[in-house]
Amino acid sequence: MSVTNAISGIIVVGALLQIGQGNGFVSLLAFIAVLIASVNIFGGFYVTRRMLNMFRKG
């Protein structure tokens, strides 16, 4: 999971750099990339947390 989160983080950084360039269509695609990669990152952390809670003694 950490490798996919790292790759998604790189995508977010690259997309944020493209959003700052000012081209309309490229900025739109970069914004969509930020949204999708962010969902992937936060979803990965959420699933990992749920899996860890399943194995917690209690």
pTM of the model: 0.74
Structural domains of the chain, count? 1
Tokens representing residue 20 in the block: 């700052």
For the chain of 58 residues, list the mean pLDDT of each consecutive stretch of 10. 82 89 88 92 89 85
Tell me, what's the pLDDT at 39? 92
Tell me, what's the pLDDT at 58? 64
Distance of CA 4 to the CA centre of its chain: 9
- The boundaries of the domain holding residue 49 are 2-54
For the chain, report the end-to-end CA distance as a whole number of angstroms.
Answer: 25
The number of beta carbons lying within 10 Å of the beta carbon of residue 50 is 9
Tell me, what's the pLDDT at 44? 86
Tell me, what's the pLDDT at 20? 85
